[in-house]
Amino acid sequence: MRARNLPNVHDAIIRKLREHSNLNASDVAIIRRLPHTERKLASHEDVVRQGDRPTVSAVVFDGMVARYHTLATGKRQYLSFHITGDMPDVQALFIDTMDHAVCALDAAVVSLIPHSALLPLLQESASVAFAVWRETLIDAAIFREAITNNSARPPRVRLAHLFCEQYYRARAGNYSHPGSCSLPLSQTQLGETLGLSLPTVSRALQWLRRLGVVDFHRGELRVRNWQRLAAVADFDPSYLHLRKPPEL
């Protein structure tokens, strides 16, 4: 899920941070100095594993990646989803051992930035450091919303809310056309995200289709009626802390 007209990963980082923070010309120049190594990921390939002690942080450049926990049964609990410009493991700068894994959901491209280059940049520019910090705080806000979604909302609303969040974020970054976005998840993975059984996910999805608000097929989410979908989901995007609402 890469934004149009993004020639390199530095542009992706700058655009992402500017969704919620101010960056001046000096900040942009500092970000453009960051070295990085591109890595292509196959579908479901891990970029970092639970228990790893990474020395690099990944920036998503194309496709979608997910944080997840693996349970003793072998099942997964998906924790969050990340698109172009996101840095899903930036906390590895300050936490020695990863307590979760990050994998590609479809074929994806990430850029790996050495911690040895990223830490001095954050020390050099307070505004960039604050922007990266704000990005991690927004991540935390999304986690809090996911906890509320999975524990306090009924299945239909739970699924509708997840669809709203993914579509809203994709449109905010200009990573999709109006009315649709990539969401490369199976119904099983939707259940592993929302704490629902496969039959419950199927029934909730059928209900949303009959309502005429969304269609979801082969990794593509089509939003038929945004206003009604957002009302069904009780979706309030304020927790995403975006400076400018997207064109939906």
CATH number at residue 215: 1.10.10.10
Q: Is residue 172 part of a domain?
A: yes
Domain boundary among 144, 173, 197: 144
Compute the average pLDDT of residues 108-134: 94
Q: pLDDT for 3-32, tens place per residue?
A: 445 578 999 999 999 999 999 999 999 999
Domain boundary among 90, 121, 144: 144
pLDDT score recorded for residue 6: 56
CATH number at residue 110: 2.60.120.10
pLDDT score recorded for residue 212: 96
68 backbone dihedrals φ, ψ, rounded to 5°: -155, 160
Q: What is the pTM of this model?
A: 0.92
Residue 182 has pLDDT above 80, yes or no: yes
Considering the domain architecture, whether residues 172 and 49 belong to the same structural domain is answered as no
pLDDT score recorded for residue 37: 95
- The mean pLDDT of the chain is 92
37 backbone dihedrals φ, ψ, rounded to 5°: -125, 130
Please give the residue range of the domain that contains residue 230.
154-240
Considering the domain architecture, whether residues 128 and 164 belong to the same structural domain is answered as no
Residue 1's pLDDT band (boundaries 50, 70, 90)? low
Considering the domain architecture, whether residues 63 and 174 belong to the same structural domain is answered as no
Compute the average pLDDT of residues 160-176: 92
Residue 173 has pLDDT above 90, yes or no: no
Q: How do 76-82 and 65-70 pair as beta strands?
A: antiparallel
pLDDT score recorded for residue 177: 84
CA atoms of 17 and 50, how far apart (whole Å): 27
The domain tally of the chain equals 2
Residue 72 has pLDDT above 90, yes or no: no
User: For 186-198, b where at least 16 C-beta lie within 10 A, e where not — what string?
Assistant: ebebbbbbbebee
Q: Is residue 248 part of a domain?
A: no
Tokens of 59: 């920036």
pLDDT score recorded for residue 8: 87
Considering the domain architecture, whether residues 223 and 135 belong to the same structural domain is answered as no
pLDDT score recorded for residue 94: 86
CA atoms of 214 and 133, how far apart (whole Å): 34
Tokens of 174: 């200009």
- Helix axis angle for 25-32 and 126-152, nearest 10°, is 80
Cα 218 versus chain centre, distance: 19
